[in-house]
A and B are shown apart, each in its own frame.
Chain A
Amino acid sequence: DTEVTQTPKHLVMGMTNKKSLKCEQHMGHRAMYWYKQKAKKPPELMFVYSYEKLSINESVPSRFSPECPNSSLLNLHLHALQPEDSALYLCASSQEGSGNQPQHFGDGTRLSIL
């Protein structure tokens, strides 16, 4: 069992829908990450939160909106997505955001846009 929990595991949505992906960790980690992964490709960093503040936004389109309500939770709000946004969305956490700590990954949400 992973220590980072992502819900839902699968999500199918239309281009006009609004949905949210959720990520939760109770390890006391202060950095949390969203990654996007296309098939047979490595993960691509989208956002980093450090101490509940957005510290990195990799020029992600505004149809993806992250939110960190508290140190244990990370959400990714989705609106008006495009078919090319279909991918595996991975959440990760680490003790802090320097890159010198292991990142703990969730199992991901597999997103399909119709």
Chain B
Amino acid sequence: KNEVEQSPQNLTAQEGEFITINCSYSVGISALHWLQQHPGGGIVSLFMLSSGKKKHGRLIATINIQEKHSSLHITASHPRDSAVYICAVRWTSGSRLTFGEGTQLTVNP
């Protein structure tokens, strides 16, 4: 069964801390997406990657294809980073996205 697992499920941090959220998947993929969902419901696409590393502001996403693992890092975290972060993959054999269960991040001031 094709699966996407995220860890941790919940994460609480103090403002300024470095944060890492992990995503593991079971078989080959052609693309991995990191998404952010705020309490209001809207989803923002943060990164799409198939190899290496991408950086945007304080956010960094990495992927290791051999280990079937991706990480999302947030440097100098801020309360406005509080949201659910979702990993989603497109398997090599299909076109739809499979979503992880999400990581609820809370950054306290």
Chain A residues within 8 Å of B, Cβ to Cβ? 2, 37, 40-43, 45, 48, 56, 88, 90, 92, 97-108, 110
Once the chains bind, are B33 and A103 in contact (CB under 8 Å)? yes
Chain B nearest CB from A63 CB (Å) reads 22
Contact pick for B99, options A40, A43, A88, A108, CB 8 Å: A43
- Give bound CA distance, A56 to B97, whole Å: 12
Is B52 close to A, CB under 8 A? Answer: no
Return the chain A residue nearest B89 by Cβ.
A99
Once the chains bind, are A42 and B86 in contact (CB under 8 Å)? yes
Chain B residues, Cβ within 8 Å of A90: 41, 43
Number of B residues near A (Cβ < 8 Å) is 23
Chain B residues within 8 Å of A, Cβ to Cβ? 30-31, 33, 35, 40-45, 48, 50, 86, 88, 90, 94-97, 99-102
Chain A nearest CB from B27 CB (Å) reads 14
- Give bound CA distance, A11 to B41, whole Å: 14
Once the chains bind, are A98 and B95 in contact (CB under 8 Å)? yes
Chain A residues, Cβ within 8 Å of B42: 2, 105-108
Chain A residues, Cβ within 8 Å of B99: 42-43
Chain B nearest CB from A104 CB (Å) reads 7
Chain A nearest CB from B48 CB (Å) reads 5
Q: A42-B86, A42-B102 are in contact. Are A88 and B97 (CB under 8 A)?
A: no
Chain A residues, Cβ within 8 Å of B33: 102-103
CB<8 Å pairs between A and B, sample of 14: A2-B42, A42-B88, A42-B100, A45-B97, A99-B31, A99-B94, A99-B96, A102-B33, A102-B48, A103-B97, A105-B35, A105-B44, A105-B45, A110-B41
